[in-house]
């Protein structure tokens, strides 16, 4: 079996994150941290062995100071059944094999251990993708990868099932920001460590004309009433449990002992043929 092609230039991603760590733009990470804390507050269980997978430890470690930090990599430094809680923090969208990442997490969880994932997906940066693509087609007649592909929520939920998690849940937190212009957005993306690190990206410098035209298109199609431009970020939260016999199990088909009509105190009406 061949491995998936490289999506990400890991050395470029590491360099981008190191640059961002000097003056990080935090609002997406802070939103993800709040979502994780909120979900953990609803779990009636204490966790004693927590792993934190992140490419931004300077942001995430203060939020989970007792967690063991695991470097974001294709092969994770996790031991089998070593943790009862794993937090996968804002890096799954850069993985070439996301289901492989989830399987590694499941194997590292103790029975009935919990995985929480925060990942960008859905409509994230669709405005920027559209503006850059249209500008490049107009100016060069071609198209090159400039914004990382984003998975849809239903696909990510399906990955949790494929990875063998019990009781998987996927939900989306839409975050909308406005910027002065495309250049202002680019400044924030550099501060997030989320600039182009795709393995298939063009390696030579793109001319100023491309970004000037993309900025015009962005302003034309995605501006607000106050002459700023919108940027979409869809934060997708995934929750799943390592299987355990103590968890609720679905009933076998036909095993119900009470009719639905009786439970609803209503009269059952047969359907016509």
- When divided into structural domains, the chain yields a total of 1
> Residue 216 falls within a domain, yes or no?
no
Domain that holds residue 71: 10-125+148-199+231-263
Q: What is the mean pLDDT of the chain?
A: 91
> Residue 143 falls within a domain, yes or no?
no
Q: How confident is the model at residue 161 (pLDDT cuts 50, 70, 90)?
A: very high
> Residue 45 falls within a domain, yes or no?
yes
DSSP the chain: -PPPPP-B-HHHHHHHHHHHHTS---HHHHHHHHHHHHHHHT-----SSEEEEES-HHHHGGGSTTSEEEE--SS----TT-EEEEEEES-GGG-S-HHHHHHHHHHHEEEEEEEEEEEEETTTTHHHHHHHHHHHHHHHS-----S-----HHHHHHHHHHTT-EEEEEEEEEEEEEESSHHHHHHHHHHHT-S--BTTS--SPPPHHHHHHHHHHHHHHHB-TTS-EEEEEEEEEEEEE---TTS--PPPTT--SS-HHHHTT----PPP-
> Residue 88 falls within a domain, yes or no?
yes
> Residue 188 falls within a domain, yes or no?
yes
> Residue 23 falls within a domain, yes or no?
yes
Q: What is the pLDDT of residue 23?
A: 93
Each residue of 188-245: pLDDT tens digit? 999 999 999 999 888 777 788 999 999 999 999 999 877 899 999 999 999 999 998 8
Q: What number is the average pLDDT over the span 56-62?
A: 96
Instruction: With a cut of 70, say whether residue 115 has pLDDT above it.
Output: yes
Q: What percent of the chain has pLDDT over 90?
A: 77
Each residue of 26-41: pLDDT tens digit? 999 999 999 999 999 9
> Residue 136 falls within a domain, yes or no?
no
* CATH assignment of the domain containing 100: 3.40.50.150
Q: What number is the average pLDDT over the span 122-134?
A: 96
Pull the structure tokens for residue 175.
């975050």
> Under a CB-based contact definition with an 8 Å cutoff, are residues 85 and 51 in contact?
yes
Each residue of 168-181: pLDDT tens digit? 999 999 999 999 99
> Residue 140 falls within a domain, yes or no?
no
Q: What angle do CA 246, 248, 249 make, to 5 degrees?
A: 105
Q: What number is the average pLDDT over the span 102-127?
A: 97
Q: What percent of the chain has pLDDT over 70?
A: 90
Pull the structure tokens for residue 27.
């609002």
């Amino acid at each position: 079996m061949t491995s998936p092609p490289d999506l990400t230039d890991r050395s470029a991603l590491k360099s981008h994150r190191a640059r961002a760590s000097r003056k990080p733009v935090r609002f997406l990470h802070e939103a993800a941290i709040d979502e994780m804390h909120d979900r953990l507050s609803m779990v009636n269980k204490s966790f004693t062995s927590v792993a934190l997978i992140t490419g931004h430890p300077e942001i995430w470690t203060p939020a989970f100071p007792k967690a063991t930090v695991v470097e974001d990599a294709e092969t994770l430094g996790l031991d089998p059944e070593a943790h009862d809680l794993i937090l996968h923090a804002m890096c799954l969208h850069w993985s070439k094999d996301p289901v492989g990442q989830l399987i590694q997490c499941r194997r590292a969880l103790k029975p009935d251990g919990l995985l929480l994932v925060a990942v960008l997906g859905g409509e994230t940066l669709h405005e920027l993708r559209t503006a850059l693509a249209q500008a490049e087609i107009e100016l060069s007649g071609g198209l090159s990868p400039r914004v990382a592909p984003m998975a849809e929520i239903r696909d990510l939920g399906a990955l949790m099932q494929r990875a063998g998690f019990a009781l998987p849940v996927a939900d989306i937190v839409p975050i909308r920001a406005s910027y002065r212009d495309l250049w202002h957005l680019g400044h924030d993306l550099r501060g997030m460590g989320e600039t182009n690190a795709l393995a298939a990206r063009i390696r030579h410098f793109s001319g100023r004309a491309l970004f000037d035209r993309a900025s015009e298109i962005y302003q034309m199609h995605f501006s607000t009433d106050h002459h700023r431009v919108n940027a979409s970020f869809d934060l997708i939260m995934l929750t799943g449990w390592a299987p355990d016999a103590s968890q609720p199990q679905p009933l076998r088909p036909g095993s119900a002992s009470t009719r639905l009509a009786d439970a609803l105190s209503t009269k059952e009406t047969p359907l016509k043929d």
